[in-house]
Amino acid sequence: MKRVLLTFMVIVAGLALAAPDTSAQSGSRNGRADKRQDMMETWKKDMADFRARSEADRQLNDLADSLAGVQAAAAVMNQDFVLEAQSVQFRNGTTVFVNSTTNFISVKGNTAVVQISPSNFASGPNGVGGVTVQGTISGLQIRHDKNGNMNMSFNVTGIGINAQIEIYTYLGTNQASATVYPNFNSNTVWVQGNIVPYENSTVFQGSTL
């Protein structure tokens, strides 16, 4: 009998040692849950900070665009600006992304300069990869459409150029597009870029024809 009782006590003790510590497991689960909650709160805070910074950046960009648009409109009205080209499209449909420093249309009072220099490898007649022509402006007109966008059109006559130019600017931004219509041939050129006040422009003018 004593042997049976002793054996029973040993089995009970073994089961007690083998039994899981439910309080320890519960504490571990709670710790993991707390960690996940902390991670979630940190993520939410980081996202809120990111959205706040993004909104601030967007507002600054909008303000910069608005100021650039005001400056561009004033420069066009004063006939004192440069359209610094970012791309040029030719009659055959080919579009070339260009260096705005050497591709531009400028207006200074009654003088206009058109410089198209799409090549980075050949010097061209102007020494900077293309052609530069300069002439006198006549017949200048400025119109506004119902959306507040502005269209400037004028004729340019000079050595190497006899053309009509139309420049279209967009309200609230300094972005613009222009079309150069030569009067004696069909080599029309389309230009897209940004309007910059003449004194703020960094373009480099090559040798004129």
Tell me what pLDDT residue 15 has: 43
- Report the alpha-carbon distance of residue 57 to residue 106 in Å, rounded: 32
Tell me what pLDDT residue 150 has: 96
DSSP state of 198: G
pLDDT in tens, 83-92: 999 999 999 9
Tell me what pLDDT residue 64 has: 62
Top-confidence residue, 36 or 132? 132
> Can you tell me which residue has the tokens 């909104």?
55
Going by C-alpha positions, the residue among 204, 197, 153 that lies closest to residue 179 is 153
Tell me what pLDDT residue 7 has: 47
Domain boundaries defined on the chain: 1-209
Beta bridge partners of 181: 164
Domain 1-209 sits in CATH 3.50.50.60: no
pLDDT at 11 over 90: no
pLDDT in tens, 171-184: 989 999 999 999 98
Confidence of residue 123 (pLDDT cuts 50, 70, 90): confident
pLDDT at 39 over 50: yes
Tell me what pLDDT residue 208 has: 92
Count of Cβ atoms closer than 10 Å to residue 47 Cβ? 10
